Amino acid sequence: MVENDTLTYHVKQPLMDQKSRVFHSLITQERTRKLELLIHLIANSKQALIICGPKGIGKSTTLKVLQERKIDSWLYCSVQGHADLSFEKIQEQTTQFLSGTFKQTKSQHKKIVLIFPDAGCLAPGLINKIIEYTVKNPVLRVIFVLTHGDLDVKTNSDNVLDDCHLIEIPSLSEKQCGEFLLYLATKPNSPVAFNAISDDFIASIYRETQGIPGRIIAELPPLEATGQINHSLWILVVAVVGLVAIAFGIQWFSTSEYNMRPIALPAADVQRSVGIGSSEKK
């Protein structure tokens, strides 16, 4: 299998010159370079490509950003793999995707990139046939997405994989893990707050996830749970404020001038106090 990380190449429009959201999607400069390498190989090599890494490392994200680049001369056809998928069905799906424009794209020197996002599900020997098919068609390129375990299994049944270009998506370092957490904290309704990101917190997350972005996100509390906690906190605050207001209201009422007024006596008692009753007797 050919490892191409040391390949020297030039890209007319470096990815780092694009919008910052692209860089944030790929998280690090090292992973961004992997995308640039992928673009270079599609443009300049006929060999099949393998994007490899553990689950959650960012293989699908890399392909998503690749397609968002919208290079005019490239078309993308994603083929979902499963155990019952046959070579004939792949040919049929590819033909339907092209919609009769194969000759036109060929004459315009366009490239059609076949992507197998779950190549580990393909039947044994099918990858060999797919690669043979793409080699016979100059406009076709193919990308297989595999975990390390799937790659080991498929190499035993599809020996052509040994000649593919391998692009492995790297994990984050502990420092990059902290930077990723800070980036997540800037997003609306983020499950992590700035003041919660400490050195100990970063070290703990890195130890549990080994720098795999998908696992880092999974380690954080769900947004729904965070929302429920915040909602309960607001209810508690409102309740405390209400009780304090009631207490102040009772205290004010009990000490107000209105409550200090003398109690009015009945009319008979008033007459006795001024001597009206005694004068009548005389």
Amino acid at site 245: A
Asked if residue 270 is part of any domain, the answer here is: no
Ranking 6-20, 31-45, 198-212, 225-239 by mean pLDDT, the lowest is 6-20
Same domain, residue pair 193 and 80: no
Sign of the four-CA dihedral 229, 230, 231, 235: positive
pLDDT-based confidence at 52, cuts 50/70/90?
very high
Same domain, residue pair 160 and 185: no
Asked if residue 268 is part of any domain, the answer here is: no
The domain of 111 spans: 2-170
Please write the tens of the pLDDT for every residue from 110-145. Answer: 788 999 999 998 889 999 999 998 888 888 899 999
Q: Which residue in the block uniquely carries the two structure tokens 């890494």? A: 53
Return the SS3 of 158: coil
Asked if residue 62 is part of any domain, the answer here is: yes
Asked if residue 72 is part of any domain, the answer here is: yes
Q: What is the pLDDT of residue 151?
A: 95
* CB contact burial 103-121 (16+ within 10 A = b; e otherwise): eebbeeebbbbbbbbbbbe
Same domain, residue pair 75 and 127: yes
Asked if residue 282 is part of any domain, the answer here is: no
Instruction: Please state the domain count of the chain.
Output: 3
- Predicted TM-score of the model (pTM): 0.68
Same domain, residue pair 144 and 30: yes
Which neighbouring-strand residues pair with 142?
A: 114
Same domain, residue pair 164 and 176: no
Q: Are 34 and 6 in contact (CB under 8 A)?
A: no
Return the SS3 of 20: helix
Nearest residue to 145 (alpha-carbon basis) of 57, 49, 25, 47: 49
Please write the tens of the pLDDT for every residue from 169-204. Answer: 999 999 999 999 998 898 888 888 888 899 999 999
Asked if residue 278 is part of any domain, the answer here is: no
Q: Are 58 and 28 in contact (CB under 8 A)?
A: no
Highest mean pLDDT among 75-79, 83-87, 247-251: 75-79
Same domain, residue pair 125 and 203: no
Decide which of 170, 185, 202 is a domain's last residue: 170
Return the SS3 of 282: coil
Q: Which residue in the block uniquely carries the two structure tokens 């016979």? A: 136
